Structure 1
Amino acid sequence: MKPVLPPAPRPESVATRVLDAGWRQWIAENRLRQCTPESMLLTMTQAGVDAEQSAQAIRAMESDPAFLAARKMQQITLKLESVLANQHRVRVLDPHYGQVEKRSGVSRAEFLAQYVYGSRPVVLTDVARDWPAMRRWSPQDLRERFGQQQVEIQAERSADPNYEVNKMDHKRSVRLADFVDQVLAGGATNDYYLTANNEALRQPAFAPLLADIGTLPDFCQAEELARHASFWFGPAGTVTPLHHDTLMLCHTQVVGRKRWRFISPLQTPLLYNHFEVYSPVDIDRPDLQRYPLFAQATVLEVVVEPGETVFLPLGWWHQVTALDVSLSFSFSNLAFPNSYTFHNPSITNW
């Protein structure tokens, strides 16, 4: 049974009334999306294309050799999607699947078996128990120790719905003391954020921050920390939109709280991942008319408190929201293989 879909969207850059190659590609794409010929005909005629010409082109697409080849490839894709969906159906039989555990005292063997090989997110509550950062770090501490240093932030994010995809356009270099003052005075906002992309920890001036990190778990390579660590600082209200990373990592909350939402990589076909590692779905406000498949996704949620560390397994989708002024530290220097290849799409006009 075919899903009920809205009328097929217009091609973004086609403003002509002529049935050109752009319209023919649009017809092929939307038939592959299972849009009905009726909805497509309606969209085309509303755009000013002749109704008979449109109907003829839609019918002709069904016997086009290139389209028939695409249908064969689609069968293979649908098989792979069904394998993922069925694997996820088995996973959710676990009565604890919907809960992100908070654990302490997890042995290396159990951590590997349950969370790395088992591919499950977990919050470890004792990783940072002896970190000087837990006693020292604060916005005021940043200002006092590093206020004169320049840092790279993302700014003017609120006006751009694709601020994370376009993050290079939002790079700004600011004095850290000025940014601390902005965060403390500005209240809750997603407009500016010092994220992992700042690479501050690669600068010698910020080496004292690394010195504030104490004992690492035995599933980490401590000597590799400086090369695989990142620092985050921003106000309440910052949102890292739905995406997946290409490796596994740990993310320790030092100051403030963050809400993490997770979706299994087995449910990737529900997330409209057309460009790189991003999904256009906003978990807070999902547009189910535009992204109806997302209604089938299972979202796991946990609030991470100061001193707690999230383990992010490979490929898990996540959206992260700061509930307070937040300082965080992430690290990926794990003592097991942590380099993977993803063949990411690069479609920008869907």
Structure 2
Amino acid sequence: MPLTPIQPAPRPRPAALFELTPDWLQWVAENRLWDCAPATMVDTMVNAGQPPELAAAAVAQMDTDPVFIAARRHQQMLRKLESVCANLQNVWQQAPGYAVVERRSGVSRDEMLTRYVHGCRPVVLTDVAHDWPALRRWSPADLRARFGHLDVDVQVGRNQDALFEQHKASLRQRMKLAAFVDLVLEGGATNDHYLTANDEMLRRPEFMPLLQDIGRMPPLCDPALLHTAASFWFGPAGTRTPLHHDTLMLFHTQVTGRKRWRFVSPLQTPLLYNRMHVYSPIDLDAPDFNRYPRLRDVTVLETVLEPGDTLFLPLGWWHQVTALEMSMSFSYTNFAADVPNQFDYVNPTIGNW
């Protein structure tokens, strides 16, 4: 006959926790999970108007709450996973030249696949785009002459929103491409306006002539799929793409101007406070170690893409991009069928707290 499962002994919730509002209860639990100092937590609660006795009791009793104990158990499993990532990262970093983004020419298909795709390493290919007509043709004047009468969706007002990339849909504004060209030329260095991949203009037949300006593809790419997997970027010096990771691999060719790319290994994701989708709140150009202390252990790689350079961005690598000059660039994900490029991520939706 089946055995009757042993029921756990009842464990009542400590009294002080019942007196907290749900927001305060969550705040205490989250800060204890971050291992914040109890005395500092009590001071914060008192300064916010909580009675000193209640604050002290609630912080002290949280560690005995049954729900919190369950959270601590799951946290142990998460920390094991974090330690696995950290140990693998330490092995990666022992490789000669790890901290330098290689600049290569003449990379074969087999080496591209083995060393950079399977090896998950970023690399700059210096010889892929040397024959592209785009390098000789693309300019603000060329865009205005060929496509200025066409509408494009651009992001405007980015300087007014610290989360401009997450809120890109609300910053979308439609205008003639000629008007945007004038805005870029007359507005100087700024992050306030940018024509990004989100416009998807290269999916429209009227912009197909731009694809005729693309020449030889990198190893692993299928040229026949380019029209389904290409994106165009155009903006002034000063445009920024905040720290994030993509959900697939890509190539990115710089056509005019220069862009600085900064990278962080996907194995260091636990150090980047990734609480919302694929974004990190950290600015690698102005790191706040007081607010984000785990950032001190992050290794940042950096490279500057010159016109004609093609970057391979491997899966999951965090990156932050800044245009050093007025810039046009072209990204593409038209990998051949034998190089799978679809991956699933379970992204957090916590938001920044």
The alpha-carbon deviation at position 56 of structure 1 amounts to 1.0
The alpha-carbon deviation at position 195 of structure 1 amounts to 0.4
Deviations 1:145-195 (A, max 9, x none): 000000011110011111011111110101000110110111110000000
| Aligned-partner residue type, residue 125 of structure 2 | L
User: Are 2:340 and 1:337 equivalent residues in the alignment?
Assistant: yes
Deviations 1:175-229 (A, max 9, x none): 0001101101111100000000011001111000011111212311111111110
User: Are 2:323 and 1:347 equivalent residues in the alignment?
Assistant: no
Write the mapping of 1:68-107 to structure 2, written as runs, cut at 5 A: 68-107=69-108
Rounded Cα–Cα distance in structure 1 between residues aligned with 2:262 and 2:118: 20
Deviations 1:53-108 (A, max 9, x none): 11111122111111000000000000000000011111111120010011010000
Q: Secondary structure at the match of 2:107?
A: coil
Runs of 4+ in 1 over 4 A off after TM superposition: none
Q: What is the TM-score with the length of structure 1 in the denominator?
A: 0.94
Rounded Cα–Cα distance in structure 1 between residues aligned with 2:223 and 2:156: 33
Aligned residue number for residue 220 of structure 2: 219
Aligned residue number for residue 289 of structure 1: 290
Rounded Cα–Cα distance in structure 1 between residues aligned with 2:42 and 2:148: 61
> What residue ranges of structure 2 are gaps of 5+ in the alignment?
1-18
| Aligned-partner residue type, residue 266 of structure 2 | P
Rounded Cα–Cα distance in structure 1 between residues aligned with 2:166 and 2:290: 22
> What residue ranges of structure 1 are gaps of 5+ in the alignment?
1-17
Aligned residue number for residue 229 of structure 2: 228
Aligned residue number for residue 14 of structure 2: none
Aligned residues: 333
Aligned residue number for residue 124 of structure 1: 125
CA RMSD, Structure 1 to Structure 2 (Å): 0.9
Change in CA separation of 1:98 and 1:160 when aligned onto 2, cut-off 3 Å: same
CA contact (8 A) 2:112 2:219 kept: no
Rounded Cα–Cα distance in structure 1 between residues aligned with 2:184 and 2:293: 37
Aligned residue number for residue 8 of structure 2: none
Deviations 1:102-136 (A, max 9, x none): 10100000011111000000000111122111111
Aligned residue number for residue 207 of structure 2: 206
Q: Secondary structure at the match of 2:56?
A: helix
Aligned residue number for residue 4 of structure 1: none
Rounded Cα–Cα distance in structure 1 between residues aligned with 2:176 and 2:36: 52
| Aligned-partner residue type, residue 341 of structure 1 | D
Q: Secondary structure at the match of 2:163?
A: coil
Write the mapping of 1:157-176 to structure 2, written as runs, cut at 5 A: 157-176=158-177
| Aligned-partner residue type, residue 49 of structure 2 | G
CA contact (8 A) 1:255 1:326 kept: yes
Q: Secondary structure at the match of 2:130?
A: coil
Write the mapping of 1:9-48 to structure 2, written as runs, cut at 5 A: 19-48=20-49
Q: Secondary structure at the match of 2:154?
A: strand
CA contact (8 A) 1:19 1:49 kept: no
Larger radius of gyration: 2
Write the mapping of 1:271-310 to structure 2, written as runs, cut at 5 A: 271-310=272-311
Q: Secondary structure at the match of 1:254?
A: strand
CA contact (8 A) 2:275 2:352 kept: no
The alpha-carbon deviation at position 349 of structure 1 amounts to 4.8
| Aligned-partner residue type, residue 234 of structure 2 | F
